[in-house]
A and B are shown apart, each in its own frame.
Chain A
Amino acid sequence: MKAPDYRTPRVGIDSAEHQAKLYRIWETAPGVKGFFTTVDHKVIGIRYIVTAFIFLALGGMEALVMRMQLARPNMALLTPDQYNQLFSTHGMTMIFLYASPILSGFSNYLWPLLLGSRDMAFPRLNALSYWIYLASGLFLYAGFLTGNGPNDGWFNYVPNASRPFNPGLNEDFYALGMVFLGISVTVGAANFIVTAFRTRAPGMSINRLPIMVWGTLTASVANLIVVPAVSLAFFMLWMDRQFGTHFFDAAGGGQALLWQHLFWIFGHPWVYAIVLPAMGMVSDGLPVFCRRPLVGYSLVALSTVATMILGFGVWVHHMFATGLPGLGLAFFSGASIAITLPSAVAVFAWIATIWHGRPVITTAFLFFSSMILLFVIGGVSGFMTASVPVDWQLTDTYFVVAHLHYVLIGINVFPVVGATYFWFPKMSGKFLDEKLGRWNFWTMFIGFNVAFLPMHLTGLLGMPRRVYTYNDYPGWATLNLLTSVGAFIFAVGVLLFFVNVLKSLRVGAKASANPWDGPTLEWSVPSPPPAYNFAVIPTVASRHPLWESRLEEGGTVSSLDRGLLLDQGKETIATSALDAQPDMILEMPEDSYAPVVLTAGLSVLFVGLLLRNWIAVGVGAVIVAGGILAWLWPSRELREREPEVAHG
């Protein structure tokens, strides 16, 4: 019997029977099966977050070993080779395996809850994105643990990464691992983009999106555009190394600088991709503790997008010293200076929000508000390197190391830890300990600044980056010792954070559905939320559905208890891209083995490529093909249907 092409979704009120029905439809199977097959965005989000924090800890331990070596001049704790692998692996870990995935984790967990949806647009793609992230992370770390870690920096310049200068497996692990990881980023980005435009609750027009959604959406568009450049670059490097192609080999007619262009065309937008969602966390979280809406919502949303657009035109500021023509440098210098302005919009919006609000000092607030200061310090040092002649002195000194840590720790780690304090009650139903939280914050804040503020001076005194040891020039020894001490204090702070999470999971104070009295949809569902998120799909009438009565925004009010029931199967609603008018009933896929099988096949394939074992490559390819076939096998249940009439 042929199902009709349309169906009118029922509108109704939440009830216990309705919830029980949804529970049966949405709940993941228990045990091993559920573990490998789940497509629940909340489970995947938490997996992302936990995995990324483990990588943060690993990268942090690598940093501490380096700081021991650098604590005094002319130390011999590490060999040059060990040091090079450590600093390269540290960069790779923090940038690729922590900073981006942690934000994907929060976005994965939060987006459907923020948007009033029951899942991401493509749940199985979401699972695939996580499994590949995990597999490629293990692949990259397999290299490091066997003494074959990357040894040419995360930026991996050729020809030092080419075979004649780097004959081991180190760079093959790195090159293939990065191509592998690129698949995860790409499918994840595509999923976020479609989710943002198509699975919002009715009425959540584009000007009502939380800023974090703007941040991740913008970052995802950028990733979709620039990740191919870096995947291509790493693939070409692997070809150069394994098959003697000469893409980057000057002697064979190639160009060493081609690598740098391909890498930084990706690399600089990527820097914005790993801070914009975190800035969004602050834009959404900070106002809750200031007890008022964000100042300048539209300007902040637009500046998020503007940062990314300008961000496509600044990559050459990593290459000012490469001998490119002056006219070209002038353009990129101008763009790099101009990009300060959209960042300034966010800074002033945040300060104004605090100024005109009534800030309640919590640990989350401390992390969010201190981030403003760290962001400004990282921003102004970036402004200094944007000026070409100044950069000719600053670049490749510790000044840039200080700059990038203010950017990455200041604008990623601090907001992320703040966001954990903010959203942990939603995820677990328990508060993080506030008292331990203060210790956590102050140790991290003091340790971080002790480590990295004096480092600007180390750079101004001329200490070059990426050196395994250094001479006892005036001032260097003291400053480096200070940095090493600060690094250990900072590490204790991060440790306190992990301790707080583990402790609070067991004995934390219980949190209600809306423990902070927040304004957005995620606070309208229980903590932790049920598998189906929303028993009825809410209808949204403002940016702050839960604050409407108090903000006197006037007009229609959001409807949270009455809405689309969508209980005929695993369903959610698709809405139009800009105005969020109901458009289609989305039939969501059941849990599936396909993503994990596909990842296993890809893993076999990449290991085969690494070892040049073509049989393994063939086996991997067959598994991948089988996984895709199973995934795409037509299924009647997944036929999308249009609702007959729009929900009113």
Chain B
Amino acid sequence: MSNALNSSPLGYLDAAGTHAQRILPLTLYTLVISIVVCVVITVLLWLAIRRNPVDSRLAVHEVPVERGGNGLRWISVGLSISAIPLLVALVWTMMVLAAIASPPKKPALVLDITARQWWWDVHYNGERPSDAFDTANEIHIPVGQPVLVRLHAADVIHSFWVPKLSGKTDMIPGQTNQSWMQAETPGRYLGQCSEFCGYQHAHMQFEVVAQSPAEFAAWKEAQLRPAPDPATPEAKRGQELMETRCGMCHQVRGTRAGATAAPDLTHLMSRKMIASGALENTPGNLAGWIDVPQSMKPDSFMPNQDLSGQQINDELAYLETLQ
């Protein structure tokens, strides 16, 4: 189990980001206090029951009623002892609340993240409009730098949570909430929608990829580029299919597929997961997901496509070019 504690991708008893690290000692403090209280009460209860044993053959009414000790000291002493850890928790709570209210320094990056049933649109703001771009379900950030996230919801309420980096902040239609995160070590950190949002709440995940600033800059550079023109005939047919069908909802920058109701696919193949964390991005999964998404993520908004074998191959050939 201790292994699970450290390796569970959504576990929050180990932290990899400043925000989460400031919460963790308080979590552990309340956890330890709680366990101690349960143990102490169990022991007291056990001792109390065993203290004046009654012959088990006697019925209740055969045991005489007595006034007994007055016992009020139990309450006064018990309350006094209980009050101390509570007071510590209260003060500590206020301190942590103040410490994580805002990022430690001016954020290096401001992201606008919009939650939708059941995926995440991630908008990178730039100095100039040409520096801005959208991606989906995979958020890259530079390690060691605070990142401000502005949280929006396009349909129902969702909640933004990357346990190893920061606590939850709800995403509510009609209001913009803010949170921040700062990864201390490079790595991939799992995020999960944590407010019930309908059929596929379970499969509404994302990943935060914390990279060195140089790697992050390179990634950003690549994301800014539009999709390349396809070279092979299969890929060309695949692009046409993309534009006439998938383009009703999806965007591939540099093509006629320009809708924003579903994830931006311009650099689909740079992502590790598809379907908002439901599937790994392998050719087999991709083929299945394109053709019969309803059997892989039931009730999601991506309809089954009923493609022919050749169409699937064409589409895969095209998607492979979207690096």
Q: Determine whether the beta carbon of B299 is less than 8 Å from that of A81.
A: yes
Contact B49 A257 (CB under 8 A): no
Check: B309 CB closer than 8 A to any chain A CB: no
Are A352 and B75 CB-contacts (below 8 A) given A359-B54, A369-B49, A461-B4? yes
CA distance A334 to B86 in the complex (A): 10
Q: Is B196 an interface residue (CB 8 A)?
A: yes
Contact A293 B41 (CB under 8 A): no
A357 touches B52 (CB 8 A): yes
Contact between B74 and A395, CB atoms less than 8 A apart = no
A383 touches B86 (CB 8 A): yes
A473 to B175 alpha-carbon distance, docked (Å): 33
Contacting pair B97 A388 (CB below 8 A): yes
Q: Contacts A380-B33, A383-B34, A473-B8; is A514 near B61 (CB within 8 Å)?
A: yes
A255 touching B197 in the complex, CB below 8 Å, given contacts A165-B156, A462-B12, A514-B61: no
Tell me if B45 and A296 are in contact (CB < 8 A).
no
Q: Is the CB of B13 within 8 A of A460?
A: yes
Q: Which residues of chain A (452-504) have a CB below 8 Å from chain B?
A: 457, 460-470, 473-476
B71 cross-chain contacts in A, Cβ below 8 A: 295-296, 349, 352-353, 355-356
Closest to B195 in A: A396
Asked if B137 lies at the interface with its beta carbon under 8 angstroms from chain A, I say no
The chain A residue sitting closest to B163, CB to CB, is A462
Min CB–CB distance B211 → chain A (angstroms): 23
Separation of A517 and B62 alpha carbons in the complex (Å): 8
Interface size class of A (residues with CB under 8 A): 35 or more
Is A230 interfacial (CB-CB < 8 Å)? no
Please name all residues of chain B whose beta carbon is closer than 8 Å to the beta carbon of A349 when the two chains form the complex: 71, 74-75
Contact A165 B198 (CB under 8 A): yes
Contact call A80/B8, Cβ cutoff below 8 A: no
B10 within 8 A of A: yes
The residues of B that contact A157 with a CB separation of less than 8 Å are 156-157, 195-196
Query: Complex Cα distance A70/B266, Å?
Result: 36
Number of A-B contacts (CB under 8 A): 299
Q: CB-CB < 8 A to B168: which residues of A?
A: 321, 392-393, 395-396
Partner of A358, one of B9, B20, B63, B75: B63
Query: Residue B129 at the A interface, CB < 8 A?
Result: no
A329 at the interface (CB under 8 A from B): yes
Contact B79–A356 (Cβ < 8 Å) = no
Closest residue of A by beta carbon distance from B199: A80
Choose, from A36-44, A208-216, A371-379, the stretch at the interface: A371-379
Residue of B nearest to A390 (CB): B27
The 0/1 profile, CB within 8 Å of B marked 1, for residues 38-68 of chain A is 0000000000000000000000000000000
Does any Cβ of A come within 8 Å of B276's Cβ? no
Contact A355 B172 (CB under 8 A): no
User: Which residues of A lie under 8 Å from residue B282 when comparing CB positions?
Assistant: none
> Smallest Cβ distance from A302 to chain B, in angstroms?
11
Within 8 A of A (CB), among B67-108: 67-72, 74-75, 78-79, 82-83, 86, 89-90, 92-94, 96-98, 100-101
Residues on B with C-beta less than 8 A from A293 are 67-68
Instruction: Confirm or deny: A389 has a beta carbon within 8 angstroms of a beta carbon on chain B.
Output: yes
- CA–CA, A460 to B197, complex, Å? 22
CA distance A362 to B5 in the complex (A): 41
A292 interface residue per 8 A CB criterion: yes
Given A295-B75, A326-B97, A475 and B4 contact (CB-CB distance below 8 Å): yes
- Most A CB contacts (10 A, CB to CB) among B38, B71, B200 go to B71
Contacts of B175 in A (CB 8 A): 250, 256-257, 323
Q: State which residues 104-162 of B face A: CB under 8 Å.
A: 117, 151, 155-157, 159, 161
Question: Do residues A474 and B7 form an inter-chain contact, with CB atoms below 8 A?
Answer: yes
Complex interface bits, B20-58 against A, C-beta within 8 A gives 1, otherwise 0: 101100110011011001100110110111011010101
Cα-based distance from A474 to B192 in the complex (angstroms): 16
The distance from the CB of B42 to the nearest CB of chain A, in whole angstroms, is 6
Say yes or no: A351-B34 contact (C-beta < 8 A), given A160-B156, A333-B93, A387-B89.
Answer: no
Does B255 make an interface contact (CB < 8 A)? Answer: no
Dominant secondary structure of chain A at its interface with chain B:
helix
Residues A358 and B196 in contact in the complex (CB < 8 Å), given A395-B168, A461-B8, A551-B65: no
Q: How far is the CA of A296 from the CA of B97 in the complex (A)?
A: 37
B264 close to chain A: CB less than 8 A: no
A336-392 residues at the B interface, CB under 8 angstroms: 337-338, 340-341, 344-345, 347-349, 351-362, 369, 372-373, 376-377, 380-381, 383-384, 386-392
Instruction: Report if A288 contacts B (CB, 8 A).
Output: yes
Interface status of B270 (Cβ within 8 A of chain A) = no
Residues in A with CB closer than 8 Å to B226 are: none
Are A383 and B30 in touch, CB under 8 angstroms? yes
Known contacts: A256-B173, A345-B79, A461-B11. The answer to whether A337 contacts B192 by CB under 8 A is no
Residues of A within 8 A of B202 (CB): 80, 464, 467-470
Q: How far is the CA of A216 from the CA of B316 in the complex (A)?
A: 66
Q: For the complex, is A322 an interface residue (Cβ under 8 Å from B)?
A: yes
Contacts of A288 in B (CB 8 A): 60
Interface string of B219-255 (1 = CB under 8 A from A): 0000000000000000000000000000000000000
- How distant is the Cα of A388 from the Cα of B97 in the complex, in angstroms? 7
A153 within 8 A of B: yes
B41: which of A341, A353, A373 is its contact (CB, 8 Å)? A373
Collect the chain B residues with CB atoms within 8 Å of residue A284's CB: none
Question: Which chain A residues lie closer than 8 Å to B199 at the CB level?
Answer: 80-81, 84
Contacts of A321 in B (CB 8 A): 159, 167-170, 194-195
Is B54 in contact with A358, judged by CB distance below 8 angstroms? yes
B308 within 8 A of A: no
Question: Can you list 20 residue pairs at the A/B interface with Cβ under 8 Å?
Answer: A157-B196, A250-B175, A251-B174, A256-B157, A256-B173, A299-B75, A322-B170, A348-B78, A352-B48, A359-B54, A360-B59, A387-B26, A387-B30, A389-B100, A390-B23, A396-B159, A462-B8, A464-B201, A465-B194, A519-B65
Given contacts A337-B93, A353-B71, A396-B159, 13 further A-B contacts (CB under 8 A): A257-B172, A292-B65, A293-B68, A295-B71, A323-B177, A337-B86, A347-B78, A352-B74, A361-B56, A389-B26, A466-B196, A474-B4, A517-B65
The 9 closest A-B CB pairs, nearest first, are: A250-B174, A462-B10, A392-B167, A475-B4, A352-B71, A323-B177, A467-B202, A352-B74, A295-B71
